Amino acid sequence: MSALSIIIDIVLILISIVLIVAVLMQEGQRQGLGAIGGGAETFFGKNKAKSMEGRLQKYTKIAAVVFIVLAIVATIVTSHNLNNKATVSDVTEAIDQAVEDAAEAADETAEEASEAAEAVEEKAEEAAEAVGEKVEETAEKTEEKAEEATEAVEEKVEEAAEKVEEKAEEATEKAEEKVEEAAEKVEEKADEAAEAVQEATEEAATKTAEG
């Protein structure tokens, strides 16, 4: 309630008290006594404005008019205050509703963000598992390839060693054959030389004997 409403209510109470007192202080109209007190009523009728009753009636009319005006003003002020209260209440409700909507939207956004984070985490786990599987497959394939390469190298080394051994044997055989051939040739040459020496010795002995 505003200060203006309080003041108007206080003035209304005071005006009401004044009206009650003024009405109680006025004398009631006595009909039926006009014949007895006609002269007196005519005398008092002329001086009515100056008498106490006239003043009370005047004050009563003024108080009544003021009371009606104040009642209308109080009604208008009260209606205006109620409208303002309703407006403030509507604004407050709108603000509360906006806050609730914002809170709900924030909660929904947080839930969506949490769901998105969970989805990203699941995708990351799936990707990590897929990468791990690929790495394992690649490692297995690499190991298989390495084993195959090792086996192939060992086979090549064995084949090369066998070929080298064969070549060495062939070379040894050829060398032995060459040595045997050379030894035979040397022996033949030695025999020929020995025969030649022997012939020369025999010729020399023959010539010596003849001479």
State how far the Cα of 109 lies from the Cα of 117, in Å rounded to an integer.
12
pLDDT in tens, 35-71: 444 444 455 555 654 577 778 888 888 888 988 998 8
pLDDT band at 31 (very low <50, low <70, confident <90, very high): very low
pLDDT in tens, 191-207: 888 888 888 888 888 88
* Token pair 């108080």 in the structure block, residue: 63
pLDDT in tens, 123-178: 888 888 888 888 888 888 888 888 888 888 888 888 888 888 888 888 888 888 88
Instruction: Evaluate whether 77 touches 43 at the Cβ level (below 8 Å).
Output: no
State how far the Cα of 33 lies from the Cα of 39, in Å rounded to an integer.
11
How is the chain split into domains, by residue range?
A: 3-27+36-123
